[in-house]
């Protein structure tokens, strides 16, 4: 396991647990398909992390064919997958191309050898470049790289060096995330030396150094933490005001329905959110009994929908016309603006401008966009979860 990982993860040294999990995943696809009342046209499929490509090529193809059998795929459907370049073999690369995968997200994090050792993820530049080359030959024509700042022993200089090396490999997009150190929540993070982590000021400096390097190389800055070539669909969506953001990050996908498969998967329907059982064993028990794995959900209220739209526009555009959105949703904008102490504080601190509810983040305040979004979150004070630093 990579020690920085914040995902729900299960480690195994044997194939049997993976094969068993795939059996249950196949059955969940059948169960969900049988209970879908209306035929859904599938525009996007995303195989998320940890490492979906840990399965064998024939297993991946079998899962992809099952999805196509049970759901109606649009002819332009985009199929994407997350990949650990260290474990991607030629056979799996070929299978990805055969399955119609056209976008791959590769975990890079950092090319600094000291940092890699400190997070238990040794990955050479050659491994990464080889994966990129083979994926492009297989027809995967859009490559994303994930970079992380705030890792142990990282410096501004090492962040710039990693970004420059990654740029040389020609990915279409970058996602640049801050390391979230929450050892109380993810026990394996206790293996990371907290004394080697940068403070908040250092994290911001690292993030800005990566951003400046990518922008200088011609990438457009997309929202808070993504970068894309000017001709990439993500950059085009931002330019036209059609950029969206969900719990997986920035996207061009405007679909109302997102179906999550697998343990811990989150889905979004027109009326709200649902989530599957998190422990793989409990997930498997539900599927084996012929029941959906969904264990909890939340139905959005009309006010929730308004607040969600405001937060999304802030996260995507760094600005929002609150009165216009409130009116469109049938609400008085003063309900959100009058007495909003968090918003007033951000304005008085020079983080944002507020012209009668038309809000715009100042350039130097973009790293505080989550704080601006939180000013419109009705539930944030109720959350008991411990989070890492905001920067």
| CA separation for the pair 213, 209 (Å, rounded) | 6
Q: What is the pLDDT of residue 385?
A: 47
Q: Are 173 and 229 in contact (CB under 8 A)?
A: yes
CA-CA distance, 356 to 370, in Å (whole number)? Answer: 21
CB atoms closer than 10 angstroms to residue 188: 16
Going residue by residue through the chain, which has 391 residues, state the pLDDT in tens, using 9 for 90 and above: 664 555 556 555 556 777 899 999 999 999 999 987 667 789 999 998 767 888 899 999 999 999 999 999 999 999 999 999 988 999 999 999 999 999 999 989 999 999 888 777 788 999 999 999 999 999 999 999 999 998 888 999 999 999 999 999 999 999 998 877 556 555 555 577 688 787 889 989 999 999 999 999 999 999 888 999 999 999 999 999 999 998 778 999 888 899 999 999 999 988 999 999 999 999 999 999 999 999 999 999 999 999 999 999 999 999 999 999 999 999 999 999 999 999 999 999 999 999 999 999 998 778 889 999 999 999 987 655 444 444 4
Q: What is the DSSP letter of 311?
A: H
Q: What is the pLDDT of residue 96?
A: 97
List the helix and strand counts (H, then E) for the chain. Answer: 14, 15
For the chain, the domains span: 16-246, 303-382
Beta bridge partners of 45: 79
pLDDT value at residue 10: 58
Can you read off the two tokens belonging to residue 316?
Answer: 């995507």
Its pTM surpasses 0.85: yes
Confidence at residue 11, expressed as pLDDT on a 0 to 100 scale? 58
Write the CA distances from 67 to 44, 75, 133, 171, integer angstroms: 12, 14, 28, 28
Which pair of structure tokens corresponds to residue 162? Answer: 């990693």
Would you say 214 and 173 are in contact if contact means Cβ atoms under 8 Å apart?
no
What pLDDT, on a 0 to 100 scale, did the predictor assign at position 386? 44
- pLDDT at site 387: 44
Q: What are 145's two structure tokens?
A: 């790289």
Spatial distance between the Cα atoms of 261 and 277, rounded to a whole number of angstroms: 10
How far is Cα 46 from Cα 64, in angstroms, rounded to an integer?
A: 11
Q: Are 245 and 223 in contact (CB under 8 A)?
A: yes
Helix (H) or strand (E) run with residue 273 in it: strand 272-276
Query: What sign for the dihedral angle of Cα 36, 37, 41, 43?
Result: negative
Domain 303-382 maps to which CATH number in 1.10.10.920, 3.40.50.280, 1.20.5.510, 1.10.3720.10?
A: 1.10.10.920
Q: How many CA atoms lie within 13 A of 100 on its CB side?
A: 17
Give the CATH architecture of domain 16-246: 2-Layer Sandwich (3.30)
Confidence at residue 137, expressed as pLDDT on a 0 to 100 scale: 97
Closest CA to 40 of 246, 234, 257, 205: 257
Q: What is the DSSP string of 360-381?
A: EE-GGGGGGHHHHHHTT-SSGG
What's the pLDDT at 388?
44
ω into 50 cis (within 30 of 0): yes
Give residue 289's pLDDT. Answer: 96
Q: How many CA atoms lie within 13 A of 222 on its CB side?
A: 32
Assign 350 to helix, strand or coil.
coil
For residue 276, give both structure tokens.
């599957």
């Amino acid at each position: 396991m990579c020690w920085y990982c914040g995902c729900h993860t299960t480690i195994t040294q044997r194939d049997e647990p993976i094969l068993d999990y795939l059996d249950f995943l196949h059955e969940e696809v059948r169960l969900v398909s049988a209970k879908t009342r209306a035929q859904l046209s599938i525009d996007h499929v995303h195989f998320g992390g940890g490492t979906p490509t840990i399965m064998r090529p024939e297993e991946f193809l079998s899962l992809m064919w099952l999805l196509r059998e049970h759901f109606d795929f649009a002819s332009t459907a985009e199929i994407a997958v997350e990949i650990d370049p260290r474990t991607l073999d030629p056979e799996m690369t070929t299978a990805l191309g055969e399955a119609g995968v056209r976008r791959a997200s590769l975990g890079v994090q950092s090319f600094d050898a000291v940092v890699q050792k400190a997070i238990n993820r040794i990955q050479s530049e050659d491994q990464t470049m080889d994966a990129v080359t083979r994926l492009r030959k297989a027809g995967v024509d859009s490559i994303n790289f994930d970079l992380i700042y705030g890792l142990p022993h990282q410096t501004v200089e090492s962040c710039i060096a990693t970004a420059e090396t990654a740029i040389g490999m020609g990915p279409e997009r970058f996602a640049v995330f801050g390391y979230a150190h929450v050892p109380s929540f993810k026990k394996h993070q206790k293996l990371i030396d907290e004394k080697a982590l940068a403070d908040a000021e250092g994290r911001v400096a690292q993030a800005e150094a990566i951003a400046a390097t990518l922008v200088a190389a011609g990438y457009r800055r997309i929202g808070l933490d993504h970068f894309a070539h000017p001709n990439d669909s993500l950059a085009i969506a931002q330019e036209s005001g059609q950029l969206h953001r969900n719990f997986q990050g920035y996207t061009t996908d405007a679909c109302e329905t997102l179906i999550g498969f697998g343990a811990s998967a989150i889905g979004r329907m027109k009326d709200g959110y649902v989530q599957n059982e998190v422990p793989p064993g409990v997930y498997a028990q539900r599927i084996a009994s012929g029941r959906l794995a969904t264990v909890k959900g939340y139905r959005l209220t009309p006010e929730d929908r308004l607040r969600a739209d405001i937060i999304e526009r802030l996260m995507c555009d760094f600005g929002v016309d609150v009165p216009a959105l409130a009116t469109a949703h049938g609400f008085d904008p003063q309900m959100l603006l009058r007495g909003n102490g968090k918003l007033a504080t951000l304005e008085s601190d020079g983080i944002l401008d507020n012209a009668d509810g038309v809000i715009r983040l100042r350039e130097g305040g973009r790293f505080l966009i989550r704080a601006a979004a939180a000013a419109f979150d009705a539930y944030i004070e109720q959350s008991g979860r411990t989070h890492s630093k905001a920067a």
